[in-house]
Amino acid sequence: MARFVITGTGTDVGKTVFAAGLCGLTGAAYWKPVQSGLAGNVPNAALTGDAPGQHGTCTGRTPTTRGRLMDVAQPGSDRAEVERLSGALTHPEAVMLREPLSPHRAAELEGVEIDAEALTPPPGARLVIEGAGGVLVPLTRQVLFADLFARWQIPVILVCATGLGTISHSLSAIESLRARGVPIHGVAFAGDPNGDNMATIGQIGRVRVLGRLPHLARLDRAALAQAMRDNFRAEDFA
């Protein structure tokens, strides 16, 4: 089964763009279980599900939050960006939160608690799942994303920057995943070339380096597909 979790050393490292590229390269579907930071993009009624006809299809996987589930990707969401960049089939988020904060805090501000136990990946042999931020981001004050990944036992791809600072960030993330028994498929770098940083993380972290996605001046579906073909091997994700 070609099912992967895309996590990273932190927020904004390039997980969504890499996830879209991987969907395009392998034909996988995409799922972002928890999206925070839709304030300003989505009317309140849409997020709370109060507006007629805005519910769409609910997965029912996490019936705990008010901010749930429309079957159409919302503008500004990672799901919408993956659709734009890959055309992949995408599953509705289980939890959508307004504030651009750690999910545990964004949820608290909406008066809801994320039911981490209820977060279960949709079926499908080819699936790319994107976390939120880095590996130790809290879903609640008790459960971190890495705990969720440990329960799922789906191989993780860690997206890492290439520049100064990445060695410690990347090795810390790898240790955190290993400490919880999360299977690591490999590391995907994002950014300008830095061969020694990439090799050092691969060697000391004892992880496979899958490739490096360069910064794309024009980020569109065709350019991303070409960059993925040029810099990754589809057979590494079979």
Ligand X SMILES: Nc1ncnc2c1ncn2[C@@H]1O[C@H](COP(=O)(O)OP(=O)(O)OP(=O)(O)O)[C@@H](O)[C@H]1O
Ligand Y SMILES: C[C@H](N)[C@H](N)CCCCCC(=O)O
Active site residues: 32
Beta bridge partners of 209: 187
Is 13 one of the annotated binding-site residues? yes
Residue among 95, 155, 147 at smallest CA distance from 129: 155
Rounded CA-CA distance 153/189 in Å is: 22
**141 or 206: CB nearest ligand Y:** 141
Rounded CA-CA distance 102/28 in Å is: 27
Backbone angles phi, psi at 25, to 5 degrees: -70, -35
| Strand 156-161 relative to strand 2-8, pairing | parallel
15 touches Mg ion by CB under 5 A: yes
17 touches ligand X by CB under 6 A: yes
Size of the site for Mg ion (CB under 5 A): 3
3 state DSSP class of 237:
helix
Buried-exposed string 90-102: b where 16+ CB fall within 10 A, e elsewhere: bbbbbbbbbbebb
3 state DSSP class of 106:
helix
**41 or 102: CB nearest ligand Y:** 102
186, 159 Cβ separation under 8 angstroms: no
Rounded CA-CA distance 98/91 in Å is: 19
Of 15-23, 61-69, 97-105, 141-149, which segment contacts Mg ion by CB under 5 A?
15-23
> Which residue in the set 59, 64, 102, 176 belongs to the binding site for ligand Y (CB under 6 A)?
102
- One-letter amino acid at 180 equals R
36 makes contact, choosing from ligand Y, ligand X, Mg ion, none, with CB < 5 to 8 Å by partner type, with ligand Y
88 makes contact, choosing from Mg ion, ligand Y, ligand X, none, with CB < 5 to 8 Å by partner type, with none
Of 51-59, 133-141, 204-212, 214-222, which segment contacts ligand Y by CB under 6 A?
133-141
33 makes contact, choosing from ligand Y, ligand X, Mg ion, none, with CB < 5 to 8 Å by partner type, with none
**56 or 100: CB nearest ligand Y:** 100
Q: Is the four-CA dihedral 13, 15, 16, 21 of positive or negative sign? A: positive
Is 15 one of the annotated binding-site residues? yes
100 makes contact, choosing from Mg ion, ligand X, ligand Y, none, with CB < 5 to 8 Å by partner type, with ligand Y
Residue ranges of the annotated binding site for substrate are 36
Q: Which residues form the interface with ligand X (CB under 6 A)?
A: 8, 11-17, 78, 132-133, 190, 213, 215-216, 219
Q: Which residues form the interface with ligand Y (CB under 6 A)?
A: 11, 36-37, 100, 102, 132-134, 137
